[in-house]
Structure 1
Amino acid sequence: MPTDFISFRETGYFSDFICDYLDEKTELKPFYNRFPKLENFKTQIEEKSLSFSSEPRNIITQVLKDQYQNINASELTSNNIESLKEKNTFTITTGHQLNLFTGPLYFLYKIISTINLTKELKQNFPDYNFVPIYWIASEDHDFEEINYFNFKGKKIQWNSKQTGAVGHFNTEGLDAVFEVVSAEFGPGKHAEQLKEWFKKAYLNHNNLADATRYLANELFGNYGLVVLDADDKRLKRLFLPQMKKEILEESAFETVTETNKKLEGLELTIQVNPREINLFYLKDGLRERIVNIDGIYQVLDTDIRWSETELLKHVEEFPERFSPNVIMRPLYQEVVLPNLCYIGGGGELIYWLQLKSNFEAQSVPFPMLLLRNSAIIKTIKQSEKLKNLDISDADLFLDRASFINKKVRKISNIDIDFSEQANFLVKQFEDLYQLAEQTDKSFLGAVKAQEVKQVKGLKHLEKRLLKAQKKKLADQISRCTELQEQLFPNKSLQERNTNFSELYLEYGEDLIPELMNRLEPLKSEFAIITI
């Protein structure tokens, strides 16, 4: 069946700021380099080519080969890794946390957007190679954000007392989670495939980073996806100049703070605020901030301290112990990869727009920023029910109260809209105002009070009638709201709540190919997909 689209603004689920970015509003242009249009990629390629040498290409290729030693990589993925050594190869990158069993559905949309964009670029710029990269957030430490996924209204959770970078977390305890998911997935061919993926990812690998790489490769390896764990000493060594500048000059704090003031002037709610030093110290279950107190550098809540000279020597000897925070991670990515474009969600793009000035201070080209694909997936049966109930795509995105009120008014056999009567009432009072003006102006207040009283009474009657009709039409309204709840679980977008496993049980191995065929990364509209 065809894919329908609705504008991001019309959904009501995306901020005005992101919608303004998609509309290329003039006031936002200073905060990004180039808008992600096909015709702009050639200039981005030329700019990146001037700043990216053969050294990082050779290093990133070797790091990836080492990381894929125990992975059954497809020929396309292997070729993509090898091609990174070539000066005509560039990357398109997305990043994501190490969510248990991929987490929310938009994990798939991020990666599909990335893969599809590389395909489109290759068709339009055949002299270049384009490699899709999934940058795993292995150095993140927000375990509570990633230790669960939702399945049919249930929260399936992994509990662990480990601390530090989550990519280092041992997978101990996930055997118990496997028992839970095995029971929840139930029997059947598609369920057995899901169980196999979970078991081989989390029970056959010792840490969360390796488990996530395995799972992402199983899902997308045949499309050439390359999974990168940047928690590697060789890559951190490439980032040494930027880390030293951050330590000595606190450049990100100064530049991003100034940008934040400008964005706040545009009434943007700031996503992230910079620290004086935007690096963590990473070692043995520890990931904690580095601070400078009266000229002494120290790791918060520890006894680790250095003078400036000692710290610079330490970062030179052990670059792997220094971890960029949310402000510095994008810069790290662009230093180690020949990257052209970053693909992320709305919240991510907002904080990327805070960072361009720091890239300029560090003399690193700023990538294009593309909003990932977003979609709702519905079955043919659901689509037919929506048609029979006369529910439009736009109706689905209404909040529950507005959705119900609109449906009641639409299916009721009486007119519940009193706006015509209200307008007539207002017109009558306009005449009374004129009469009072001509006779005794002291009556204006009394006329106003009477107008407010009668308009309020009319609205009250409309609400009572609407409530009565809701009760009378309860069965029909229930069928409508049940469908909306299926497609918007917990009154939220499907992609922010549902795990891919629910859809895989329905569609099996057809799921990802269908999404690959339906999602268009440069279209910049919300997709409504019927499979």
Structure 2
Amino acid sequence: MEVECIPFKETGYFSKLICDYLDQDENLKPFYNRFPKLENFEAQLKEKEKNFPLQNRAILVNALKNQYTEVTATECTIENIDLLGNANTFTVVTGHQLNLFTGPLYFLYKIVSTINLTVQLKERYPEREFVPVYWMATEDHDFDEINYFNFQGQKVQWNRDASGAVGTLDTEGLEAIMDSFSSRLGSTKRAEAIKALFQKAYLEHSSLTAATRYLANELFGAYGLVIVDGDDKRLKELLVPYAKRDIFKNEAYTTVEKSIKSLSEINPGYKIQVNPREINYFYHKEGIRERLVNKNDGFEVVNTQIRFSASELESELEEFPERFSPNVIARPLYQEVILPNLCYIGGGGELAYWLELKDYFEAFGVTFPMLLLRNSALVITEKQKNKIDNLGLNVADLFLKQTSLINKKIREISNIDIDFSPQKKLLEEQFQHMYELAEQTDKSFVGAVKAQEVKQKQGLDALEKRLLKAQKKKLRDHVVRMTDIQNVLFPNQSLQERQLNFSELYLEIGDELVEVLIQSLDPLSENFSVLTV
């Protein structure tokens, strides 16, 4: 196994906000608690320890044991669930939607990052215990985001009517998906193992939540992963005081709006990921999950006939907390209320919206977790690596936009120097003399001189492009082979991890896939990893 590292900001695939966060830009420090370095966890541990009620641990452990009644937990996972009842045990969390058959490959990288960080924390703080947690987004209701995965360049899609929280969906119709997927897998030993995993997860479990729990447990149970479903009445009871402040006082809306404004003032180019609503909760009951809004001196559930007065809604919340589902703003708070958590691990988009939330957490008296960008990886085979080397490419070259890659390499391998930068510089020097002459004689000629300079530079650009085009044609075979390997490793000109499903890597690597990732990825490296397998 060969591992090559590329700084995240040099890949071109991460936002300005995330790159500035990784650089620990001074302007961003008010928006996070502590930067995720091992030595910074000491203070985070002490803060969370003081701010996490012991009684919440007992509720959490009981809820988890009940959630695991339908799956065979490993001894390591059972031990970790029990450890959560102890005051010296803390979690590292990642979250993900219930994508069909895990969805994109980065699902694995999120959980591997989480597991590996708990191992490093245990080595650094041996007197403490650390538990990796996967939070299933069972209450999301956007079925179209999770009803497919890509395999060998094609969608494997589950088409059906769906409403309400996706976790409650039954698995009806997945037999047809199984048949279609199986026909494309082949009949190798590894293919048969994938078929069996899909069948046991989706055809032998009655809901999407149960299927996803089984699948994640099969892949990561050996490493003690604990899987949490927040759609649980006992856990939701802990959220009630915070939900009241959001629903009746709009405190989340006020604080997050201020944070978004402050972020925008730092850099108008920062993309705001999510905007708060006055009420950040859905009403979740019997196949519906719709927004709760304040309207007509009371409260309504949009797209329904459900109405509440303020007192009726408060009674509903206290009696049926499971019917109140946090949105993307409130869900992080819910997670930190019920878990003794130190760090949240997510992708760039997730961390961007977490950076909006620190003041909101402080206003609600909840410790804000450390934020860690998950591992990202490009997995290449030895055969592909040999092709890259034979083409005279560095792996980092493949992260370039395709046009830039082609132009860069054509200039490098061409026997003609197709770079008119020296000519452009000489032209600028010549026109500088003409500007001085115009200033001394008739200033009205400055504009004419400028127009002539622009025209001649455009002429050089056009000539450079024509020569490059001619060289591309001449070196067409090299260009085709370069673009072919880039298209394979960056499908749809996107990161591999966002397109491929883990099953494609499993066909290549086999049962060792997860262990290879565990051994190869360092969650604190702050680099994009390129793995040659």
Shorter-chain TM range is: over 0.9
Counterparts of 1:250 and 1:111 in 2: how far apart (Å)? 34
Counterparts of 1:237 and 1:443 in 2: how far apart (Å)? 77
Number of the residue aligned with 2:359: 357
Counterparts of 1:4 and 1:66 in 2: how far apart (Å)? 43
Q: Secondary structure at the residue paired with 1:159? A: coil
Number of the residue aligned with 1:64: 64
Whether the 8 Å contact between 2:60 and 2:339 is mirrored in structure 1 is: yes
TM-score if structure 2 supplies the norm length? 0.97
Counterparts of 2:441 and 2:23 in 1: how far apart (Å)? 54
User: Which amino acid is 1:120 matched to?
Assistant: Q
Q: Secondary structure at the residue paired with 1:340? A: strand
Number of the residue aligned with 2:236: 236
Deviates more, 1:317-326 or 1:239-248: 239-248
Q: Secondary structure at the residue paired with 2:293? A: strand
Q: Does 1:425 align with 2:421?
A: no
Q: Kindly report which structure 2 residues correspond to 1:376-455, keeping only aligned pairs within 5 A, or say none.
A: 376-438=378-440, 441=443, 443-455=445-457
Number of the residue aligned with 1:249: 249
How far off its partner does 1:96 sit?
Answer: 0.2
Counterparts of 1:51 and 1:441 in 2: how far apart (Å)? 71
User: Which amino acid is 1:516 matched to?
Assistant: I
Number of the residue aligned with 1:10: 10
Q: Secondary structure at the residue paired with 2:70? A: coil
Counterparts of 1:354 and 1:288 in 2: how far apart (Å)? 24
Number of the residue aligned with 1:214: 214
1:125-176 superposed Cα distances (whole Å, 9 cap, x missing partner): 0001000000000000010000000111101100111210000001000111
How far off its partner does 1:440 sit?
Answer: 5.3
Counterparts of 2:281 and 2:436 in 1: how far apart (Å)? 70
Counterparts of 1:446 and 1:302 in 2: how far apart (Å)? 67
Number of the residue aligned with 2:323: 321
How far off its partner does 1:524 sit?
Answer: 0.9
Number of the residue aligned with 1:38: 38
How far off its partner does 1:182 sit?
Answer: 0.3
Q: Does 1:54 align with 2:57?
A: no
Q: Kindly report which structure 2 residues correspond to 1:265-276, keeping only aligned pairs within 5 A, or say none.
A: 265-266=265-266, 267=268, 268-276=270-278
User: Which amino acid is 1:345 matched to?
Assistant: G
Structure 1 unmatched ranges of 5 or more:
none
Deviates more, 1:350-359 or 1:424-433: 424-433
1:449-468 superposed Cα distances (whole Å, 9 cap, x missing partner): 33333222222111111001
Q: Does 1:515 align with 2:521?
A: no
Counterparts of 1:348 and 1:422 in 2: how far apart (Å)? 44
Number of the residue aligned with 1:505: 507
Q: Relative to structure 1, is the Cα distance of residues 445 and 32 closer, same or farther in structure 2, using a 3 angstrom cutoff?
A: closer
Whether the 8 Å contact between 2:410 and 2:471 is mirrored in structure 1 is: yes
Whether the 8 Å contact between 2:70 and 2:210 is mirrored in structure 1 is: no
User: Which amino acid is 2:239 matched to?
Assistant: F
Q: CA RMSD in A?
A: 1.3
Counterparts of 1:93 and 1:281 in 2: how far apart (Å)? 25
Number of the residue aligned with 2:137: 137
Whether the 8 Å contact between 2:17 and 2:271 is mirrored in structure 1 is: no
Structure 2 unmatched ranges of 5 or more:
none
Deviates more, 1:132-141 or 1:395-404: 395-404
Counterparts of 1:447 and 1:55 in 2: how far apart (Å)? 79
Q: Does 1:487 align with 2:493?
A: no
Number of the residue aligned with 2:338: 336
User: Which amino acid is 1:272 matched to?
Assistant: V
1:60-83 superposed Cα distances (whole Å, 9 cap, x missing partner): 111111121232221111111111
Q: Relative to structure 1, is the Cα distance of residues 438 and 260 closer, same or farther in structure 2, using a 3 angstrom cutoff?
A: closer
Q: Secondary structure at the residue paired with 1:109? A: helix
Whether the 8 Å contact between 2:344 and 2:370 is mirrored in structure 1 is: yes
How far off its partner does 1:434 sit?
Answer: 3.7
% same residue: 61
User: Which amino acid is 2:411 matched to?
Assistant: R
1:279-314 superposed Cα distances (whole Å, 9 cap, x missing partner): 111111000111111321121121211211111111
User: Which amino acid is 2:326 matched to?
Assistant: P
How far off its partner does 1:448 sit?
Answer: 3.3
How far off its partner does 1:56 sit?
Answer: 1.4
Aligned length, in residue pairs: 531
Q: Relative to structure 1, is the Cα distance of residues 446 and 44 closer, same or farther in structure 2, using a 3 angstrom cutoff?
A: closer
How far off its partner does 1:429 sit?
Answer: 2.5
Counterparts of 2:146 and 2:440 in 1: how far apart (Å)? 71
User: Which amino acid is 2:472 matched to?
Assistant: K
Counterparts of 2:322 and 2:433 in 1: how far apart (Å)? 79
Q: Relative to structure 1, is the Cα distance of residues 295 and 4 closer, same or farther in structure 2, using a 3 angstrom cutoff?
A: same
